[in-house]
Amino acid sequence: MKKVFIDTMGCQMNKSDTERMLGMLSHFDYEETKEPEQADLLMINTCSIRQLSEDKAFSAVGTWGKWKKEGKNIKIGFCGCVAQQKAQEIFKRAPYVDFVLGTHKIYSLPEIIKRINNGEKVCECTETNSTEDDLAKKYEIERVKGVNAWIPITEGCNNFCTYCIVPYTRGRERSRQPEIIIKEAQDALDAGFKEITLLGQNVDSYGKDFKDKNYRLAELLKDLNALEGKFRIRFVTSYPTDITDELIQTALELDKVCEYFHIPMQSGSTEVLKAMNRRYTREEYAEIVKKVREKIADVTITSDFIAGFPGETEEQFVETLTAIDEFELDYSNVAAYSPREKTVAARWVDKYIPEDVKNERFQRLNKKIQENCLKSNLKYVNREMEVLVENFYEHKGKMINTGKTRNFKTVHIPCDKDLTGEFVNVKITGAKTWYLKGEII
Ligand code: SF4
């Protein structure tokens, strides 16, 4: 067996692509290693959301390039969103790279491996409109054993938010066929996975592009919920205005669908949202969150925000801080604005916010998010909750199991027995900013 190391950056979609690539490579006698020094094939699966991650990717392959120069017999692959965007340019900046593979063509990987082994340099970044499900059938996924299986249900995005590179790197939105998704879920359950997370840039617009059927996320959830056995279902990421009443009702009624919605707001200011080309106002977002909270008890709602979007005033930024409080957002990811080539906002150079102001807003946002996260966690102290254990490790001489509640709260449970993959009932005994403490009952 040869060894492959894949460094995965960015979002869950990239993690899922990595799983698929490892699955394909396993048919060609490659096994995964976590140690880059031991690998025959080194790949980086890149993210282009921020300049920083792009720079990190080039720095990582630079190290591998040095090993190659020193005489190590290795092959290097540059994959993912930066690959899709830069294509042949990658070879100019990193001539030691053997292949560049974009996000649309990951199923070309076996062919690419044959070609690079014959000494070719390969760049495969052509766009396609298919979800390549036929090829997916050919290369059954071999997931790394675990608790949570990530299953993409849509690829790409049609929204063209003015700051976002995704429509350029992942293409237009395409939904995968339900029968393929259901089979993938069944295979994961048969392999012992206990949680299925459906992935999409806008997971709640699933099925909008089906011409031959009226089958949307709600229908898919019902079909998955009907699969045998005890397991959980989650779906991320939701675009606020694509969350329908039917979807909320379905999530409420299905016992395996968890009480968790990730609904990025991006800014609390309606003017900034307009500049971002987000298709909702602050009030409309508030309405959606209210509906979800009213229907689903104990629901966790998380969000994403951008600090220092071009032209954002101090007053508009403060509206984001107040939104986090007002809508009681349980947790949010925050990023300082980073201009990305090709996007509309990147052209608004004269409106760029100075770095020091942007960073200060970033810090203030993070502080607000931490406060709210602790407030949200404190609500669960003394409650009984079900936890799906995901990890078991030693910390300061004690053995700890960690896992997630149905509503996506992390719980640390001191216990000498490894309970990974088990559902356990715990009493919540304490709350910290990022996690709850629990005792098995
Ligand atoms: S909805 Fe906007 S932010 Fe999300 S992937 Fe699409 S373009 Fe990007």
Q: Is 240's C-beta closer than 6 angstroms to any atom of ligand 1?
A: no
Amino acid identity of residue 47, one-letter, is C
pLDDT band at 19 (very low <50, low <70, confident <90, very high): confident
pLDDT band at 342 (very low <50, low <70, confident <90, very high): confident
| 201 CA: nearest ligand 1 atom | 5
**What pTM was estimated for this model as a whole?**
0.84
CATH code of 436's domain: 2.40.50
Place of tokens 């998704």: 181
pLDDT band at 399 (very low <50, low <70, confident <90, very high): very high
pLDDT band at 134 (very low <50, low <70, confident <90, very high): very low
Same domain, 371 and 399: no
What average pLDDT does the structure give for the chain?
Answer: 92
Nearest residue (CA) to ligand 1, atom 2: 161
How far, in Å, is the centroid of ligand 1 from the Cα of 200? 10
pLDDT digits (tens, 9 = 90+) for 26-81: 877 888 999 999 999 999 999 988 888 888 999 999 999 999 999 999 999 999 99
User: Does residue 94 surpass a pLDDT of 60?
Assistant: yes
Same domain, 404 and 349: no
The first and second tokens of residue 345, run together, are 């906002």
pLDDT at 125: 86
Task: Among 13-17, 178-182, 393-397, name the most confident range.
Answer: 178-182
- Give the span between the Cα atoms of 305 and 73, in whole angstroms: 44
- Give the span between the Cα atoms of 426 and 82, in whole angstroms: 43
Phi-psi sector, 207: left (phi>0), alpha (psi -120 to 50), beta: left
> Which are the contacts of 431, defined by CB distance < 8 A and separation ≥ 6?
374, 377, 378, 380, 381, 437
Same domain, 246 and 168: yes
Q: Is 160's C-beta closer than 6 angstroms to any atom of ligand 1?
A: yes
Q: Is 161's C-beta closer than 6 angstroms to any atom of ligand 1?
A: yes
How far, in Å, is the centroid of ligand 1 from the Cα of 177? 22
Q: Is 241's C-beta closer than 6 angstroms to any atom of ligand 1?
A: no
pLDDT band at 141 (very low <50, low <70, confident <90, very high): low
Count Cβ atoms below 10 Å from residue 396 Cβ, excluding itself.
5
The residue whose CB lies within 8 Å of the most ligand 1 atoms, and thus the one to mutate among 201, 303, 337, is 201
How far, in Å, is the centroid of ligand 1 from the Cα of 30? 34
pLDDT at 143: 58
Q: Which of 143-152, 159-168, 172-181, 329-338 has the lowest mean pLDDT?
A: 143-152
CATH code of 108's domain: 3.40.50.12160
| 164 CA: nearest ligand 1 atom | 8
Nearest residue (CA) to ligand 1, atom 1: 159
pLDDT at 110: 84
Phi-psi sector, 310: left (phi>0), alpha (psi -120 to 50), beta: beta
| Domain final residue, candidates 72, 89, 124 | 124
| 278 CA: nearest ligand 1 atom | 2
What distance, in Å, lies between the first and last C-alpha atoms of the chain?
45
Query: Whole domain around residue 297: which residue ranges?
Result: 133-378
pLDDT at 331: 96
Q: Is 166's C-beta closer than 6 angstroms to any atom of ligand 1?
A: yes
pLDDT at 139: 46
How far, in Å, is the centroid of ligand 1 from the Cα of 276? 10
- The rounded percent of the chain whose pLDDT value lies above 90 is 78
| Domain final residue, candidates 341, 358, 378 | 378
Residues in a beta bridge with 224:
none
The residue whose CB lies within 8 Å of the most ligand 1 atoms, and thus the one to mutate among 84, 103, 154, 159, is 159
Q: Is 343's C-beta closer than 6 angstroms to any atom of ligand 1?
A: no
C-alpha 116, offset from chain centre:
30
| Domain final residue, candidates 348, 378, 408 | 378
Same domain, 104 and 164: no
Pairing of strands 398-405, 384-395: antiparallel
Q: Is 8's C-beta closer than 6 angstroms to any atom of ligand 1?
A: no
- Give the span between the Cα atoms of 244 and 288, in whole angstroms: 9
pLDDT at 145: 64
Q: Is 273's C-beta closer than 6 angstroms to any atom of ligand 1?
A: no
pLDDT at 129: 58
User: Does residue 359 surpass a pLDDT of 50?
Assistant: yes
> Which are the contacts of 77, defined by CB distance < 8 A and separation ≥ 6?
41, 42, 43, 44, 97, 98, 99, 100, 101, 112
pLDDT digits (tens, 9 = 90+) for 207-216: 999 999 999 9
How far, in Å, is the centroid of ligand 1 from the Cα of 355? 24
Same domain, 194 and 108: no
Count Cβ atoms below 10 Å from residue 255 Cβ, excluding itself.
9
C-beta separation of 16 from 150 below 8 A: yes
User: Does residue 238 surpass a pLDDT of 60?
Assistant: yes
| 202 CA: nearest ligand 1 atom | 1
User: Does residue 127 surpass a pLDDT of 80?
Assistant: no
Same domain, 162 and 239: yes
CATH code of 263's domain: 3.80.30.20
Q: Is 164's C-beta closer than 6 angstroms to any atom of ligand 1?
A: yes
Exposed, middle or buried: residue 321 (CB in 10 Å: 0-12, 13-18, 19+)? Answer: middle
Same domain, 374 and 388: no
| 277 CA: nearest ligand 1 atom | 2
C-alpha 405, offset from chain centre:
19
pLDDT band at 138 (very low <50, low <70, confident <90, very high): very low
> Which are the contacts of 203, defined by CB distance < 8 A and separation ≥ 6?
153, 154, 217, 235, 236, 237, 238
Q: Is 202's C-beta closer than 6 angstroms to any atom of ligand 1?
A: yes
Same domain, 285 and 432: no
How far, in Å, is the centroid of ligand 1 from the Cα of 425? 37
Amino acid identity of residue 127, one-letter, is E
Q: Is 201's C-beta closer than 6 angstroms to any atom of ligand 1?
A: yes
Q: How many domains does the chain have?
A: 3
Same domain, 306 and 367: yes
pLDDT at 210: 94
Same domain, 371 and 389: no
Same domain, 287 and 372: yes
How far, in Å, is the centroid of ligand 1 from the Cα of 155? 11
* Region 378-390 average pLDDT: 97
* Region 225-251 average pLDDT: 97
Same domain, 10 and 94: yes
Phi-psi sector, 225: left (phi>0), alpha (psi -120 to 50), beta: alpha
- Give the span between the Cα atoms of 338 and 125, in whole angstroms: 24
